[in-house]
Amino acid sequence: MLTINKGGGLRLRVSGAPSLETVKLKEPEHVGSIPFSIPFIKPKLVKAEGDHVNIGTPLFYDKNNPELQFVSPGCGTISDIVFGPRRVIEKIIIHLDKSETSETFDPIDKNALKAITRKDLTERLLNGGVWPFIRELPFRGIADPDTRPSSIWVTLDTREPFMPSPDIYLQGKTNQFELGLDILKKYSDNINVSAGDGIHGHVPVTHTCPGSYPSGDPGVLLYHTKQTPDENRSWYIAGQDLLLLSSFLTKGSYPVERVVAVGGSKADKEERRHCITRIGAPIANLLPASSKKPGLRYLTGGLFRGSPVPPDSFLGLYDTSLNVIDQGDREEFLGFIRPGFAKPSASRTFLSSIHSKKLELDTGTHGEIRACVNCGSCAKICPVHILPQFMFKCIVANEIEEALAHGLLDCVECGLCTYVCPSKIELNDTFRKTKREYRNEQY
Amino acid sequence: MKIIKKLFDTQRKHFEETGKLSAFKPLFEAFETLFFIPAITTKHAPLVRDSLDLKRFMSFVILALVPPLVYGIYNTGYQSSLAQNQSLDMIYVFMRGLEITLPIIIVSYGVGFFWEVVFASIRKHNISEGFLVTGLLFPLSLPPSIPLWQVAVGISFGVVIGKEVFGGTGRNIFNPALTGRAFLFFAYPASMSGDSVWVAAGRGAQQAVDTVTGATPLAQAVLSQAGDNLENLLRDAGFTLKTLLVGGYPGSIGATSTLCCALGAIILILSGVASYRIILGGVAGLLVSSLALNLVSGPGSHPFLSLSPIFQLAMGGFAFGIVYMATDPVSAPGMEQSKWVYGFAIGVLTVLIRVFNPAYPEGVMMAILFMNLFSPLMDHIEIQMRLKKRIPNV
């Protein structure tokens, strides 16, 4: 086992961590599918409002890759399809039946898996709608089944606040996890399993990353282990998603179970816990109390990478985390000269840096946008040794080749550069957009 | 607090697009955001942001400037009283110092702020906090007898030519405060150098001071002859090492006290606002080069060559320059190793200019401006070296 601890990253002291208490939530009335949150696809609907679907019935596919199917996370009637600006499909809402049925596929066991060809396996995973759980670096889109990755990373814990503890979602599922690894071995000889600082049960962990966020991110791990440029195109999958893959193969039906960590300083104390629920569960189901309070923001998918959702929305395909934090839209009188005992900061300019208590984060910018003064805070914190202050200038000057030489594609989009920037420059957004444009030129 | 909030809320309409004073919107916003951190929420990932903003960042430089500022005010009054045989009572001296320095600081801030507002209004962007630092650094680097109109001309040059013509904050090549000072130095040498400018008279007493030579230790050092023992000469003139460290001698308003600058350096380094690499590199450069000159100096050489490195460090404006001017992140290199080189080179150049160029008794101003010019090149070289080590990913 290799320990990767290269410093960098952010020592976070965020309050509102979920407890290890695990509860099984009652079945919701509705579940939702959020095509909008799936990267790089152009969804084309195959079902319409009022249609009846089973668990695993295709709802839409990707126009660019029609073999990529996205299936229904529930059995019932499509009660609403909500479109956003420019006809973006925001969500598909399914009113669940009392008793649900699944589409069925041929189940296979461990031995049958050994015998099956790679092509056959890919076809099964694509048809079942579980292929999209496998993602591809550096753009973080869905893996291209026609390529052969040099390595595949299974990340049990990305160290982002607050993700479900592997101890909880792996409990009693070691065999299932190992079957998942067998699936991945069909695609690459080099399978890595990374965990935070511990070894979880009997899972064969290859890399530990005890550092702070984002040390457990697959992009960071790849950056610190790669030897040649060939390794840049690696695949990755979250530990929980790998369980879904193997569950699909052994049971022959689309798996919907999810362990979701609910946290954040503004979530009620009783709500901060691990919930066993399902893909596409409504936010309100996870947050019975705080989804009704005003002035809060709900982030699915982690505190840094997460995106804000309204409280009447649903968990996306990949979401295993829900954070509730303050909106932070308050003016602060003479804020810049306050001692700041409770202000979170990566710098040493607040008195919060002399104690080690947990601090509350909110979604205020805490300042206005200014010109870059080359303070270098971003370069100090970057986990993959990029110089964001110079790279963003390359991009603004439209020198994309130079930005690539700076390591644009190594950027793991962790958002730390943007978090620490005292000039409040949207570095992360600039990098993401540029990567997206570059990808669209290539594909 | 509520009264202030109300005041801003009622007056805002005049500065909106349709208001009579819409041209001064940046001015209004500068004041409003000084009192209230605006309630802006994030739109893009990451949705959470650090509490540090540029206002706080720059406030730390102002905070670090307080020791040299307070001591500078005191010392200005003290030297003035001393020259005119007046009371050396602490409070009297301090008030006298205020009387001399406050107008200089007010003119610097007022005129500089005027230019900031003009450019912010034309460019329709917000006023940057960087000016709060420039507007205080500039007067502290001037001799106390400087005429106020020259302060106005100097800060105008510093802000307009030193910063705004390049596109404003973050884009300037040279440190604006130092650019303004260099302009005055070359345009009005009579007010910026020589023996008679370092002690201010205060109102209505010009005559009395003109007869007193307030020679600085650096001028003393330059004037010494071969064979002199410079340390003895300095001591005889009242410049013991202790005086030089504390700063109780005639000189630029805020730049005489090495100890106060060291205190400021500690604040800047502990808070992480200024680069310790530049400061330590600069001190190392100064010590190493003056030590090297000590080694090569013989009996026939100028005594300045054999002056102890500690004296070099303690006298003149080097400490002020390296702590507050050289660490300006915009005009200094951004790369970590370059910062060492940049600081070191400033230290070396300062000594070389001091010792070998009698026309410039203090070398730190020219040394920093010269190295400002090279910082993009140093950054470029270090970035290219660093990028070569990356495994390509395209």
The amino acid sitting at A80 is: D
Mean pLDDT of A380-403: 94
**Interchain pair B37, A299: CB under 8 A:** no
Residue A137's nearest CA partner among A124, A150, A146 is A150
Q: Which residues of B touch A161 (CB under 8 A)?
A: none
Would you say B177 and B138 are in contact if contact means Cβ atoms under 8 Å apart? yes
pLDDT tens column, A340-367: 888 999 888 898 888 888 999 999 999 8
Residue from B360, B349, B320, B344 nearest B221 by CA: B360
What pLDDT is attached to residue B348?
96
DSSP designation for B322: I
CB distance A251 to A186 below 8 Å: no
Give the pLDDT confidence score for residue A18 in this predicted structure. Answer: 92
Checking if the pLDDT of A253 tops 90, the result is: yes
Mean of pLDDT values over B328-333: 94
Residue B323 DSSP code:
I
Longest CA span, chain A? 69
Strands A207-208 and A191-195, sheet pairing: parallel
The pLDDT value recorded for residue A391 is 96
Comparing CB atoms, the residue among A331, A385, A419 nearest residue B50 is: A419
Question: What residue type is A431 in one-letter code?
Answer: F
Q: Distance from CA of residue A406 to its chain's centroid?
A: 25
Please state the rounded mean pLDDT for residues A174-185.
92
Mutate to test the interface with A, among B9, B28, B37, B132 (most CBs of A within 10 A): B37
Least Cα separation, residue B31 to chain A (angstroms): 11
Please indicate whether, in this complex, the C-beta atoms of A428 and B390 are within 8 angstroms of each other. Answer: no
Structure tokens at A268: 């009620």
Question: For residues A48 and A83, what is the distance between their CA atoms, to the nearest angstrom?
Answer: 13
Q: Which pLDDT score is estimated for B211?
A: 43
Among B5, B34, B53, B273, the strongest candidate for a mutation testing the A interface, having the largest count of A CBs within 10 A, is B53
Query: Residue A154: which H helix or E strand, with range?
Result: strand A152-155
- What is the arithmetic mean of pLDDT over A272-290? 92
pLDDT for the residue numbered B202: 58
- Sheet containing strand A76-83, edge to edge, reads A30-33, A89-96, A76-83, A52-53
Distance from CA of A120 to the nearest CA of B (A): 31
Residue in chain A nearest B169 by alpha carbon: A371
- Predicted local distance difference test score (pLDDT) of residue B199: 82
Q: What's chain B's average pLDDT?
A: 87
| Mean pLDDT over the full length of chain A | 91
Please state, in angstroms and rounded to a whole number, the distance separating the CA atoms of residues B122 and B103: 28
CB atoms within 10 A of CB A178: 15
Q: Which of A430-434, B139-143, B193-197 has the lowest mean pLDDT?
A: B193-197
Q: Are A30 and A97 in contact (CB under 8 A)?
A: no
- Judging contacts by C-beta atoms under 8 Å, the chain A residues touching residue B54 are 367, 370, 373, 422-423
pLDDT of residue B210: 44
Looking at the predicted structure, is the pLDDT value of residue A233 above 80?
A: yes
Q: Is A27 left (phi over 0), alpha (psi -120 to 50) or beta?
A: beta
pLDDT at B203 over 70: no
From the list A232, A337, A387, which residue is nearest B59 (CB)? A337
The rounded percent of chain A whose pLDDT value lies above 90 is 69
Q: What is the per-residue burial (b if ≥16 Cβ within 10 Å, else e) of B29-51?
A: bbebbbbbbbebbbebbbbbbbb
Angle between helices B276-296 and B258-271 (to 10 degrees): 140
Q: Kindly state the average pLDDT of the residues A112-121.
A: 90
Q: How far apart are CA A269 and CA A15, in angstroms?
A: 11
Q: What are B286's two structure tokens? A: 């100064």
Averaged pLDDT, B237-256: 86
Residue B95's contacts (CB-CB under 8 Å, 6 or more residues apart) are: B77
Task: Determine the Cα–Cα distance for residues A151 and A156; give it in Å rounded to an integer.
Answer: 16
Instruction: Check pLDDT > 80 for residue B228.
Output: no
Question: Residue A6: what pLDDT?
Answer: 67
Residue B338 has pLDDT above 50, yes or no: yes
The pLDDT tens digits of the residues spanning A135-168 come to: 998 999 999 999 999 999 999 988 888 899 998 9
Query: Distance between CA atoms of B284 and B347, rounded to whole angstroms?
Result: 7
DSSP string, A367-436: S---------HHHHH-TT---HHHHHHHHHTT-HHHHHHTTGGG-----HHHHH-TT---HHHHHHHHHH
Rounded distance between C-alpha atoms, residue A255 and residue A249, angstroms: 10
In this structure, are residues A325 and A435 in contact, taking their beta carbons and an 8 Å threshold?
no
Predicted local distance difference test score (pLDDT) of residue B182: 94
3-state class (DSSP) for residue A61: strand
Please give the radius of gyration of chain B, using alpha carbons only, rounded to the nearest integer.
23
Q: Distance (Å, rounded) from C-alpha A156 to C-alpha B54?
A: 38
**What's the pLDDT band for B207 if we cut at 50, 70, 90?**
very low
Give the pLDDT confidence score for residue A133 in this predicted structure: 96
Q: Please say if the pLDDT value at position B213 is more than 60.
A: no
Segment A9-14 mean pLDDT? 78
Is the bond into A138 cis (omega within 30 degrees of 0)? yes
Taking the mean position of all CA atoms in its chain, how far away is CA B370?
Answer: 15
Question: Shortest CA distance to A280 belongs to which of A100, A22, A86, A144?
Answer: A100
Task: Compute the distance between CA of residue B171 and CA of residue B328 in angstroms, rounded to an integer.
Answer: 12
Instruction: Give the model confidence (pLDDT) of B158-195 as tens digits.
Output: 999 999 999 888 899 999 999 999 999 999 988 887 77
Burial class (CB in 10 A: 0-12, 13-18, 19+), B3: exposed
Check CB contact under 8 Å for A329 and B40. Answer: yes
| Burial class, B369, CB count within 10 angstroms (exposed 0-12 / middle 13-18 / buried 19+) | buried
Q: Say how far apart CA B152 and CA B157 lie, in whole Å.
A: 9
Question: pLDDT, tens digit, for every residue of A183-224?
Answer: 999 999 999 999 887 666 678 889 888 888 888 899 999 999
What was the pLDDT predicted at B14?
A: 80
Band of residue B206 on the pLDDT scale cut at 50, 70, 90 = very low
Question: In terms of CA atoms, which chain A residue is nearest residue B380?
Answer: A390
Grade residue B220 by pLDDT with cuts at 50, 70 and 90.
Answer: confident
Domain segments of chain A as ranges: 1-8+26-256, 365-442
What confidence score (pLDDT) does residue B250 get? 87
The residue type at A13: R
Q: What is the mean pLDDT of residues A402-428?
A: 94
pLDDT at B25: 77
Instruction: Quote the ipTM score.
Output: 0.90
CB–CB contact A331 B38 (8 Å): yes
Residue B329's pLDDT band, with cuts at 50, 70 and 90, is very high
Write the pLDDT tens digit of every residue in A299-356: 999 999 999 999 999 999 999 999 999 998 888 888 788 888 889 998 888 988 888 8
pTM given for the model: 0.92
DSSP A321: E
CB-CB contact of A157 with A170 (8 Å): no
Residues of A in contact with B388 (CB under 8 A): none
Which of the four pLDDT bands, split at 50, 70 and 90, describes residue A259?
very high
Q: What is the pLDDT of residues A34-61, one digit of tens each?
A: 998 899 999 999 999 999 999 999 999 9
CB atoms within 10 A of CB A357: 9
**Closest Cα partner for B210 from B148, B269, B145, B159?**
B145
